[in-house]
Structure 1
Amino acid sequence: MTLAKNQKSSLSRLYKKVSSKRSESSRNLEDESRTSSNSSGSSSLNVNELRTVFDYMDANSDGKISGEELQSCVSLLGGALSSREVEEVVKTSDVDGDGFIDFEEFLKLMEGEDGSDEERRKELKEAFGMYVMEGEEFITAASLRRTLSRLGESCTVDACKVMIRGFDQNDDGVLSFDEFVLMMR
């Protein structure tokens, strides 16, 4: 997996973390405006959603993401980027050469790293593994709660059951990998 793909996965997780704090009504309105899919068939975030992630990462609200801000946000997600990796990401994304990633550059970065279906499936398998308890093959309410807690979100098991119910196609109370894939679209 390339550095940019690692960063995009981390940024996607960051988006999910940030967006989970929005109100339900706001989420429903944005769901209606969500873009369905790009040419590779994977779902894409719309500009408003990407703005939410960008603004969260732009800690000092100067309209640019510095290497330090990028590194800090990836770290919040349990990931790690070395100073050299951060420098490489900024250098390859920074079109205007100012040493920062502005919103337009951020959009290009996020939209330009789709990869093949096989790579996407591998990434989803890795993400799925973060939520599954050892020895299990599905996401339970307890395992979802545990993972969300690691990301700094407090959530009850009952609330996690409600989240799972939204994507649980066979009503068994857990999410299989296939159901997880549908959820991530």
Structure 2
Amino acid sequence: MEELKRVFNRFDANSDGKISSTELSNVLNRSIGPYKKDFPSRSGAYTIDEMKELKDAFDLYDKDHKGLVSVLELHLVLKSLGEKCSVQDCSKMISFVDADGDALILRNSNR
């Protein structure tokens, strides 16, 4: 449970107890490299600890451990964290970073 809280807090940038679509997009954007064109980029390199946190956050959503996050996986995790968002909301979130239109977020294994 502590690990979930730590990951949740990493997503909840403004500490309001909720993960907005913008906050989710920002974390996912940092973790999937090739899709950065859709979001403001962060200047500077990530530390090893930050990269580990991002990988851990991605792995939290990647329930079947295939290196991809589907709409349903995102929905299940957000629902388990108490977020009230629909599958359609999750689909919209994923569409922000889905460059090829397959409704999946791919982990960039080169980072």
TM-score (norm 1): 0.39
TM superposition outliers: structure 1 runs of 4+ over 6 Å:
none
Q: What residue is the counterpart of 2:20 in the other structure?
A: 20
The 3 A distance-change label for structure 1 pair 8 and 156 is: closer
Contact 2:98 2:105 in 1 (8 A): yes
Question: Matches of 1:156 and 1:138 in 2, distance apart?
Answer: 20
Decide whether aligned partners of structure 1 residues 175 and 135 sit closer, same or farther in structure 2, where only a CA change above 3 A counts. Answer: same
Q: 1:10 to 1:159 in 2, by over 3 A?
A: closer
Count of matched residue pairs: 86
Give unpaired runs (5+ residues) of structure 1: 1-6, 23-34, 43-115
Structure 2 partner of 1:150: 80
- Distance in 2 (CA, whole Å) between partners of 1:142 and 1:151 is 14
Larger Rg: 1
2:42 paired residue number: 37
More helix by share: 1
**Match in the other structure for 1:141:** 71
Gaps of 5+ in 2: 23-39
Give the % identical residues.
24
Distance, in Å, in 1 between the alignment partners of 2:65 and 2:6 is 28
Of structures 1 and 2, the one with the larger relative CO (CA 8 A, separation 6+) is: 2
